[in-house]
Structure 1
Amino acid sequence: MKIGELFSVRGKVALVTGGSRGIGEMIARAYVENGVRVYITARKADACDALANELSKSGECISVPGDISRLDEIDRLGTEIEKREDKLDILVNNAGASWGANFATFPESGWDKVMDLNVKSAFFMTQRVLKLLQAAGSEDDFARVINIGSIEGMRTSHLEAYSYAASKAAILHLTRMMAKYLAKNHIAVNAIAPGYFPSKMTDAIPEDESEVIEGHTPMRRWGRPEDMAGVALYLASRASGFVCGSTVVVDGGLATTG
């Protein structure tokens, strides 16, 4: 098989949660520019609509804003997709949040908000569009669910973001659980564990700390959009046809060599 066929995603349909910025935007952009019809959702409608308008100049991108930390909003989003599509080839569970505070003062609100969005929504979003994923998958070409974890779910972080680290460890194991039980439906579930990429979440990191992170990364830089695009395209294409329950770490060696 030629490389163009092996890595092609043209003609597929995808939903990217948290798709209006950061890693979600990087993935959505990669898919749109390579022939995927992409639905993006995010809590802030203006940002979601603006990116969809921009990406539509390069292909097909539809904005469906919503707060998927709520089950009723997950159901509404699923209904909107069902009105327009009879299958869903790719689901990227990317929506996420973080919360930092020292152990003694870490609040319940910072725990619940992060766990609900980072873990609960990924499970119930997949459950809600299960029939669409089943309709897309076949024995020769499975539908794909890609959960966005983090290296902070694999290592002991220097940041006191307790619920974030716990949620990302949970999403990596949830990926393995989902992979085991959804494969019978011709759905392959995998995860990406990013290191440090430019995003609103990492914008809060002070410059001196950013330099420390870069210095401890063997490749001596942060992630770039094309780094995330390449992995997202791989996991959505036939190139990863026998990959199931795996986590692809994209961190320049930061967590994997430390």
Structure 2
Amino acid sequence: MDTSQMFSLKGRSALITGGSRGIGRMIAEGFLRQGARVYISARKAEACDATAKELSAIGHCVSLPGDVSTLEGVQQLVAALQQHEQTLDILVNNAGAAWGAPYDEFPESGWDKVVDLNLKAPFFLTQALTPMLRAAATDHLAKVIHIASIDGVSVNPQETYSYAASKAGLIHLTRRMALKLAPERIAVSAIAPGAFASTMNKDARDHADEVSRRIPLGRIGTPEDMAGAAIFLASRAGDYVVGSTLIVDGGVTWARG
């Protein structure tokens, strides 16, 4: 058994949505350090371009701005990627949104925006990129990694109804898609992050000490924690993980009961 290349992504191509900041950026940097060619997408072109420029100091990183919440945006992103790559080894569906409002006032806009981006986009982007993933799956598996949330596994006390539902749906969608695509040598899995500092998780970013008190491990997640989980699933090391969701949260899911 040769384990020296087990976690290597050398020569692999990867597309990460929501890659300009937060968890997406953590994964992008990790993939670059393992030798992958990385393409990051985000709705805000300026931020996406700036992050790609910074990460290019590590390796091959290209900005492909776009909005994957619509089918038109999905097709535009696929076309942009095809200008650079004929095949795709790794797709990370990370772009996401959240919305909180009291139950009696929760708006339809807060439902549609979140569910379209968190649940619909991963399905239709993967569907559109399946020919490129299939073409990459030669002497190795192609990988699809959905970024879910522990809020899809256990209940968060906050009133984020559409977010929780969309992430629970994504975890089950991961299982269904995995069964369909595994015979085509495309392994689908997911990560359910806990508290990581990001624009979406402002509590973890701005009140890390307070949040850490609710986490059994006593701290919020670091870029290394997220990169390590994603590298495991994307590399040869994670080839036998099919349809499962890896919880990366310092134990908080089980502390919630």
TM over 0.5: yes
Question: How much has 1:4 moved relative to structure 2?
Answer: 2.7
Deviations along 1:153-210, whole A, 9 cap, x unmatched? Answer: 01111111000000100110000000000111110000000000000011157966x5
RMSD, aligned CA? 1.4
**Separation in structure 2 between the aligned mates of residue 193 and residue 167 of structure 1, nearest angstrom:** 12
Give TM-score scaled by structure 2 length: 0.96
- Alpha-carbon deviation of 1:147? 0.1
Deviation track 1:104-161 (CA, whole Å, cap 9, x = no partner) reads 00000000000000010000000111100000113x5210000000000011111110
Runs of 4+ in 1 over 2 A off after TM superposition: 1-4, 204-208, 210-213
Mapped to 2, the partners of 1:127 and 1:211 lie a distance apart of 41
Instruction: Return the alpha-carbon distance in structure 1 between the equivalents of residues 224 and 192 of structure 2.
Output: 15
Q: Match for residue 222 of structure 1?
A: 220
Aligned mates of 1:154, 1:94 — CA distance in 2:
17
Distance 1:66 1:150 in 2: 23
- Say whether residues 1:91 and 2:91 are aligned partners: yes
**Other-structure match for 1:170:** 169
What SS does the aligned partner of 2:61 have?
Answer: strand
Residue 195 (1) aligns with residue 183 (2): no
Alignment of 1:83-122 (within 5 A): 83-122=83-122
Match of 1:240 among 221, 238, 241: 238
Stretches of structure 1 that go unaligned for 5 or more consecutive residues are none
For 1:225 and 1:132, the matched residues in 2 are separated by 28
SS in 2 for 1:242: coil
Give the letter for the 1:239 counterpart: A
- TM-score under structure 1 length normalisation: 0.96
- How many residues are matched? 256
CA distance in 2, matches of 1:190, 1:60: 25
Question: How many angstroms apart in 1 are the aligned matches of 2:156 and 2:188?
Answer: 26
Question: In structure 2, what is the equivalent of residue 145 of structure 1?
Answer: 144
Measure, in 2, the Cα distance between the counterparts of 1:3 and 1:57.
Answer: 28
How far does residue 29 in structure 1 lie from its aligned partner after superposition? 0.8
Task: Judge conservation of contact 2:204–2:211 (CA < 8 Å) in 1.
Answer: no
